[in-house]
Amino acid sequence: KPEKAEIIQEEPETVSVTKTQTETGEVKSVKTTKRIIRKKKGPKDEITEITTVQKDDEAPVTTVHVTEEQAPEEEETKPIEVIELPEETIVEEITPGETKQVKKSKKVIRKKKGPIEEVTEITTVTKEDEAPVTTVTVREETQPEDDQTEIVE
């Protein structure tokens, strides 16, 4: 029976050095090193925090703090449907003989969240001699539930 691999996530070590000046003019420094290790244990996350504090002329003091948190429920990731419509080029006539090009590109992104579908439309309009204007529209559509049809023979 194969065992499941335990996921261990180790965050980068953070080191901070604080220098303070005493009343006598001496500069004392305190070096603090902090490490965080996250382990997944079933439905919970075990977080180990190792802090080492070292003052001038003193031995370092290390404290280990272990906490357990309820792991967030991982949602099933479904592929996101992205529909990119072809770029439209429209030639506008301003005055007789003078034309202006207008390019319009549209991208539609559909995300399903349960019975609700989130539709994001990104439209970019680029006119000659002007900066492009991008419009983002987000709307939620409720999908009708597919009724299961029975075939009776």
Whether residue 85 is found in the same domain as residue 128: yes
Token pair for residue 80?
Answer: 């996101």
Q: Which pTM value belongs to this model?
A: 0.42
- Rounded to whole angstroms, the Cα distance separating 103 from 134 reads 12
Q: Are 108 and 117 in contact (CB under 8 A)?
A: no
63-to-33, 37, 40, 55 alpha-carbon distances in Å = 11, 14, 22, 14
- Rounded to whole angstroms, the Cα distance separating 142 from 15 reads 50
Whether residue 12 is found in the same domain as residue 60: yes
Whether residue 85 is found in the same domain as residue 138: yes
Residue 75 lies in a domain: no
* pLDDT for residue 74 is more than 60: no
Average pLDDT over residues 64-78: 73
Structural domains in the chain (count): 2
Residue 58 lies in a domain: yes
Whether residue 12 is found in the same domain as residue 66: yes
- CATH number at 98 reads 2.20.130
Per-residue confidence band for 102, with pLDDT thresholds at 50, 70 and 90: confident
- The reported pLDDT for the residue numbered 51 is 92
Whether residue 46 is found in the same domain as residue 86: no
- Rounded to whole angstroms, the Cα distance separating 78 from 114 reads 11
One-letter amino acid at 24 equals: T
- Rounded to whole angstroms, the Cα distance separating 38 from 15 reads 19
* pLDDT for residue 67 is more than 80: yes
Q: Is 42 helix (H, G, I), strand (E, B) or coil?
A: coil
Domain of residue 30 covers 8-19+26-70
Residue 15 lies in a domain: yes
Q: Are 97 and 73 in contact (CB under 8 A)?
A: no
